[in-house]
Chains A and B, each alone.
Chain A
Amino acid sequence: MTSTTIDDAPHIEPSPSTQERRNYLNDEYGVLSWLLTKDHKRIAILYLFSVTIFFFVGGIFAFLMRLELLTPEGDMFTSDTYNKLFTLHGVVMIFFFLIPAIPAVMGNFILPIMLGAKDLAFPKINLASWYIYIIGGTFGIIVIITGGVDTGWTFYTPYSTQFSNTKVFATTLGAFITGFSSILTGLNFLVTIHRMRAPGLTWFRLPLFVWSMYATSVVIMLATPVLAITLVMLMVERVLHVGIFDPALGGDPVLYQHMFWFYSHPAVYIMILPGMAIISECVAAFTRKKVFGYKFVAFSSLAIAFLGFLVWAHHLFVAGISVYAALVFSFLTMLVAVPSAIKVFNWTATMYKASVSWNTPMLYVLGFIGLFTIGGVTGLFLGALGVDVHVHDSYFVVAHFHYIMVGGTIMAYMAGLHYWWPKITGRMYPEWWARLSALLVFVGFNLTFFPQFLVGYVGMPRRYHAYAPEFQVLNVLSTAGATVLAMGYLLPMVYFAWSLKFGRKAGSNPWGAVGLEWATTSPPPKENFHETPVVTWEAYDYPAFLKAMKETQHV
């Protein structure tokens, strides 16, 4: 084991002559160079801005809802406004933030570099994906401005097609278009991973980030089209007043729920798998150790991708499906929980006899493992038929999926943002401010959503504008938590912007981590590597990687 001190080793500080070497940021200037770029790194930055805007738009809706729920009576907004708030919070957060965020920002930027490729397989399609996302997003903004939609992000029929007189058509069209943007991103990733790996980068030398992105792309490719056809049918029914899903005209509303959740449950895995991708990377980097059971973690991503398609009807246990179908789906739901459990146990085991650093990304990783565990096990509560009948459509469900989406995906997104910030911008974020914001997020999150488990089991239904007086105390706690959580999310906006100008210059490998992305300069040049790298080390093999990096430095 080499005795070099790792903290600043292998210290591939580029020599001064390469200091002002051209990188993808200062390679060309001007608005057009950004709006017509085909460089996957710039497209990732475009996505970063648009996704962050939607995150705060969705966040504002959430905060307004929490303010309304301070009091049992619905005395802040009319019930119509409240219904629009929770619908728009759902639509914006899911379709415009959670599904595109990690794949389009982190995936776009880091995946090609991790594979040692110059760019994604289809750069033009990658740019088209961003423009399609912007068109879909514009529909979302138009809906918000011109009056909102009040059907819930699930658009259940016959309410959404026959009874709601809000902007349902425009919202479904927006979601339909945004679906194509993520299909194109998925397509790009799959082909790049298959066909454009660097020489020597065999499948089992790939970072686990790539495995999880591969699984996510498979789920995107095979689930999103079913959402597309379901929304097409919804729009046909709403415009032509036909009864595909409307029982008064002969349709079956439960069929809509089947088709909607056939997409929407895999969509939950589209949201969490990229989170798991980042956590696997950060766990390896901040414990400086090979992730325990590399093959198990890699294949559990694929197992989640496949099993995720078999379980959707656990959203329909009380909706009117047959008893036997409920049994089948409850059993399959139990199977899909196993790969997630494997991942959590393997991450924990990786820290055995490791060198665990307490940098901000690792704080978020610890937070993720803790909160994702709660999210995962409460999923078992909902998968068990007996309990689900009671807690379905209650705040218990709301707490469950927020523990997965906020405690899981957004925590992982923050970890990834901090972990790759030096690589994206060449600057280090301020460590102590970042740790403070991580603490705020962790405390605020738990204070917001843990009371909701309790109030949900006691019997508070979901999507209620006014509720029974005995639920008030837990709701006040939850709103207090929401304020702390909001602080935790606003702080990074400040210090990330600050770090762009005043942040310490980051070398090409500030964390001393293994990975091709740490073998190029930060920010990386336009073609990622000056000459195509050759991978000779196994995944997360620290000694071999440090030796290989030493050799490239002396040549």
Chain B
Amino acid sequence: MTDFPLFPEQASSVAPLVDGLYLFLVVVTGAVSLLIWLVIFYFAIKYRRRPDNELAQEQEPPAILEMTWTVLPLLIFIGIFIAGSLVFFRMQAVPSNALEVYATGRQWMWKFQHPTGQREINELHVPVGRAVKITMASEDVIHSLWFPVFRVKADVLPNRYRTLWFEATKTGRFHIFCAEYCGTSHSGMIGSVIVMEPTDYQRWLAGGTEGSLASQGEKLFQKYACDTCHLDNGTGRGPVLAGAYGKTRPIEGGASVVIDDNYIRESILRPQAKIAAGFQPVMPTFQGQVSEEDLIRLMAYVKSLPAPQTAAAPPVESTPIPTPTTTNVVTTTNP
């Protein structure tokens, strides 16, 4: 019978905050509950039914009590709400210098990819003391990546990137669980995160890799012939991708969109969804050809492209070459 912890370890920057809020709640609600139990037992014993105490004396406790236990709980609860929200904001605000790691959930295993190219299954090596941002999507059903000792969790949705970040403050090997029921061996979809000293982490990184994620992405960029349309000098049939990440660009139909992970993914898998303004919808769909890992590599490559400093005209105003072939796009008849 191994030792059984009654309280989880704190191994992340946000863990003390969550535990603080948790213990505050335990104390406050515990006190109120204890008060109620004691009062009940005291009344149950003091005013128990005896021959001389057959009918209750109709004295009422003061009516002001009613107001107090309506307003007081409301104030306490709003306080709890505010405390909970502050911690929640801290969990949602991803620091800008975070180490980017990509995760893919698929039925009953976790796959992690580091920017330097390492690929791991059900294991994640991270440096201690540095914020790590995990961008994740699922290949099939909904999973949920949960690091109990870091007190962070987020559902991993199919077809949509979501992020989760933590900053490990303690080295060691800790649990990774899937928290959203996902089928037969949902309980087998577990793993461990290994938090290492930065030096050990560098040594682990150096061990065997086939080039950084971005470099792998570049190979795929050529393999899928993306470079025939997406040229850097803005003369290609597709928009220039260099330096586009994070910018806001207009799309057909007047709206504009922030170029983030989800937009890149959607433009690869369903290019017709949001077409960059001034361009023809000629890009074929890559749905089913590009795997989740390749998507992550391509995205890492696109994000790594530096904004072009050359004198070429800024990408937005470049005039697209009229496309040779006439496309039989169903033009909308209704104005």
Contacts and interface: CB of A to CB of B under 8 A. Distances in A.
Interface of A: 1-2, 5-7, 74, 79-80, 83, 150-152, 156, 158-159, 162-164, 247-248, 253-254, 287-290, 292-293, 296, 318-320, 323, 326-327, 330-331, 334-335, 337-338, 341-342, 344-346, 348-349, 351-358, 362, 366, 369-370, 373-374, 377-378, 380-381, 383-390, 392-394, 454, 457-459, 461-474, 542-543
A404 to B, nearest CB: 14
A463 B144 CA distance: 13
Interface in B145-191: 146, 148-149, 151-155, 157-160, 162, 175, 177-188, 190
A356 B49 contact: yes
A341 B160 contact: no
A386 B159 contact: no
Interface stretch (B75-83, B212-220, B252-260): B75-83
A403 to B, nearest CB: 11
A384 B80 contact: yes
B317 interface: no
A320 B39 CA distance: 43
A353 B59 contact: yes
Contacts of A388: 84
A474 to B, nearest CB: 6
Given A79-B188, A293-B66, A381-B22, 15 more contacts: A156-B141, A289-B56, A292-B60, A335-B77, A346-B66, A352-B47, A353-B47, A356-B47, A366-B44, A384-B25, A386-B85, A387-B25, A390-B148, A457-B7, A459-B149
B210 interface: no
Given A389-B153, A459-B8, A459-B175, A331 B51 contact: no
Contacts of B91: 386, 389
A293 B91 CA distance: 42
A462 B179 contact: yes
B228 interface: no
A385 B78 contact: no
19 contacts: A2-B55, A289-B58, A292-B60, A320-B155, A323-B92, A338-B73, A354-B47, A369-B40, A384-B81, A385-B84, A385-B85, A387-B21, A387-B22, A388-B84, A458-B5, A458-B6, A459-B177, A465-B186, A468-B175
B87 interface: yes
Contacts of B190: 468
Interface string B81-122: 101111111011000000000000001000000000000000
Interface stretch (B29-37, B201-209, B238-246, B319-327): B29-37
B74 A338 contact: yes
Nearest to A4: B54
Given A159-B181, A348-B39, A354-B43, A386 B21 contact: yes
Interface in B14-50: 17-18, 21-22, 25, 29, 32-33, 36-37, 39-41, 43-44, 47-49
A151 B180 CA distance: 11
Contacts of A344: 36
Given A289-B56, A467-B187, A158 B158 contact: yes
Contact of A470 (B5, B39, B65): B5
B21 A319 contact: no
Given A292-B60, A334-B77, A355-B56, A463 B186 contact: yes
Nearest to B84: A384
B55 A1 contact: yes
Contacts of A366: 40-41, 44
A342 B71 CA distance: 10
Contacts of A370: 33, 36-37, 40
B73 to A, nearest CB: 4
Which 10 A-B residue pairs are closest in the complex by CB-CB distance? A386-B87, A459-B148, A384-B84, A385-B88, A377-B29, A289-B56, A351-B43, A334-B77, A247-B159, A464-B187
A362 B49 CA distance: 12
Nearest to B287: A248
A327 B148 contact: no
A331 B155 CA distance: 22
Contacts of A468: 175, 190
A390 B18 contact: yes
Nearest to A289: B56
Contacts of A318: 144, 153-155, 179
A390 B151 contact: yes
Nearest to A82: B187
A349 B61 contact: yes
Contacts of A471: 4
Contact of B81 (A247, A334, A389): A334
Contacts of B36: 344-345, 348, 369-370, 373
Nearest to A475: B4
B69 A342 contact: yes
A152 B88 CA distance: 28
Contacts of A462: 179, 181
Contacts of A394: 179
B77 A353 contact: no
B47 A158 contact: no
B142 interface: yes
A370 B155 CA distance: 34
Contact of B56 (A288, A326, A374, A389): A288
Given A377-B32, A458-B7, A389 B40 contact: no
A262 B74 CA distance: 24
B56 to A, nearest CB: 4
Central interface residue in B63, B69, B73, B181, by most chain A CB within 10 Å: B181
